[in-house]
């Protein structure tokens, strides 16, 4: 005779089958003695309309065991594997964020320039509403765009991001590039991208604004003190600029985000930044992959890291994917990564990389030996008439 619990479990099983949500849409039986499996099914396979009582349900709190967690220099926590939001389509973004949270992601790396912050916020708010996660369990990240470096515009841009996302604060807010462009009003164009006005667009130039980076940073420090952001980060900063910033900052940057992959290892710089207590975060961990579809001729001419013989050999040895090898090469050096994927299984693979593979020191060195000092994201090429030599 079935217990009430078993009857309830089977009723839920029936509901799940009616919605045809894999992997339980087939004739796979459920072990009624496994409570963890029960909550996995309810949490990850029940449609939102079926989750009315989720806030009162048991919480699955072992997500941090999936990815290693870094402690930033201000005491805040950040898992080493997050989800990058660059190029996530607006029409699928909210659901992808929701799915990522259901799988276990807690870091969401966005930016004003990505143009999808409303959808990122929607996915986060839906997950919180459905009881999948609490706001304080997340690390929500954005980046200040180049058009808003003047101190009077920093808080305006931040509040626009918070408004779009429907959130009260950000966990980490980067300066996207050490480049100050002439501001463009939200009404004229948002996000402005590489646009500084109609006249400049016709002339094929970009107008700059004479704002020292420390002035911008000071405005961000005020945002920390007001509780609008928890941590300040900088992105695409060179070593000399980091040196200068560390000398002048009242609140030291908690993170540095840079392009980093086996074709651009930046080993000396990474070790120096880490020695200063700043968390290094890698973007474009798969090298040219992210830049092929945006027309980069350099990326198109570069052999994909996924198919490199060295990476494939190591992946085969460990029985994992080449993407996992590339991510683990970074996280094993205490470098955070922010890959993205629209597939739940790939999301899970990326998140579990620290558990599923450990590279030997010789394998890490072999992968690092692929370095070509090859950079795919270089503002020097943004505008032929207005180059920005931030890496020269």
Q: With a cut of 90, say whether residue 57 has pLDDT above it.
A: no
List, in sequence order, the alpha helices (H) in the chain: 4-19, 35-45, 90-103, 117-129, 151-165, 198-203, 213-225, 239-248, 267-275, 289-292, 297-300, 309-318, 322-331, 344-351, 353-356, 361-368
This prediction has a pTM of: 0.84
Q: With a cut of 70, say whether residue 36 has pLDDT above it.
A: no
For the chain, which residues make up each domain, given as ranges? 4-55, 63-381
Homologous superfamily of 63-381 = NADP-dependent oxidoreductase domain (3.20.20.100)
CA distance 254 to 191: 25
- Residue matched to tokens 């996000």: 191
pLDDT confidence of residue 42: 39
Asked if 180 contacts 146 with a C-beta cutoff of 8 angstroms, the reply is yes
pLDDT confidence of residue 347: 94
pLDDT confidence of residue 342: 87
Give the pair of three-digit tokens for residue 324.
């996992």
User: What phi and psi, each to the nearest 5 degrees, are found at residue 70?
Assistant: -95, 145
pLDDT band at 66 (very low <50, low <70, confident <90, very high): low
Q: Catalytic residue numbers?
A: 114
Asked if 235 contacts 176 with a C-beta cutoff of 8 angstroms, the reply is yes
pLDDT confidence of residue 67: 79
Q: With a cut of 80, say whether residue 47 has pLDDT above it.
A: no
Give per-residue pLDDT as tens, 88-126: 999 999 999 999 999 999 999 999 999 999 999 999 999
Q: What is the mean pLDDT of residues 35-41?
A: 37
Give per-residue pLDDT as tens, 244-294: 999 999 999 999 999 999 999 999 999 999 999 999 999 999 999 999 989
Give per-residue pLDDT as tens, 188-210: 999 999 999 999 999 999 999 99
């Amino acid at each position: 005779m079935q217990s009430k619990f078993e009857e309830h479990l089977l009723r839920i099983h029936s509901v799940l089958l009616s919605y045809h949500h894999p992997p339980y849409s087939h004739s796979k039986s459920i072990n009624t003695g496994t409570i963890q499996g029960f909550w996995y099914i309810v949490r990850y396979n029940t449609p939102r309309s079926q989750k009315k009582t989720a806030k009162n349900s048991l919480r699955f709190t072992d997500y941090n065991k999936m990815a290693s967690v870094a402690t930033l220099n201000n005491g805040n926590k950040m898992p080493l594997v997050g989800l990058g939001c660059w190029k996530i389509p607006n029409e699928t973004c909210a659901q992808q964020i929701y799915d990522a949270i259901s799988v276990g992601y807690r870091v969401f790396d966005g930016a004003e320039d990505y143009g999808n912050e409303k959808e990122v916020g929607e996915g986060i708010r839906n997950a919180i509403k459905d009881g999948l996660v609490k706001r304080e369990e997340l690390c929500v990240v954005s980046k200040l765009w180049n058009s808003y470096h003047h101190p009077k515009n920093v808080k305006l841009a931040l509040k626009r991001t918070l408004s779009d996302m429907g959130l009260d604060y950000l966990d980490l807010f980067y300066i996207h590039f050490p480049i100050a462009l002439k501001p463009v009003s939200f009404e004229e164009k948002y996000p402005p991208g590489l646009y500084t006005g109609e006249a400049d667009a016709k002339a094929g130039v970009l107008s700059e604004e004479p704002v020292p980076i420390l002035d911008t940073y000071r405005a961000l420090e005020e945002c920390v003190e007001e509780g609008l952001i928890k941590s300040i980060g900088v992105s695409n900063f060179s070593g000399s600029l980091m040196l200068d910033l560390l000398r002048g900052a009242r609140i030291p940057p908690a993170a540095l985000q840079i392009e980093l992959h086996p074709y651009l290892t930046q080993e000396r710089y990474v070790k120096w930044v880490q020695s200063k207590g700043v968390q290094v975060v890698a973007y474009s961990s798969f090298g040219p992959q992210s830049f092929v579809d945006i027309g980069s001729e350099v990326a198109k001419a570069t052999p994909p890291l996924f198919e490199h013989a060295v990476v494939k050999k190591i992946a085969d040895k460990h029985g994992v994917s080449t993407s996992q090898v590339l991510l683990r090469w970074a996280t094993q050096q205490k470098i955070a990564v922010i890959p993205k994927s629209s597939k739940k299984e790939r999301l899970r693979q990326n998140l579990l990389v620290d558990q599923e593979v450990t590279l030997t020191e010789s394998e890490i060195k072999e992968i690092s030996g692929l370095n070509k000092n090859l950079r795919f994201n270089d503002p020097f090429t943004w505008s032929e008439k207005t180059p920005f030599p931030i890496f020269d």
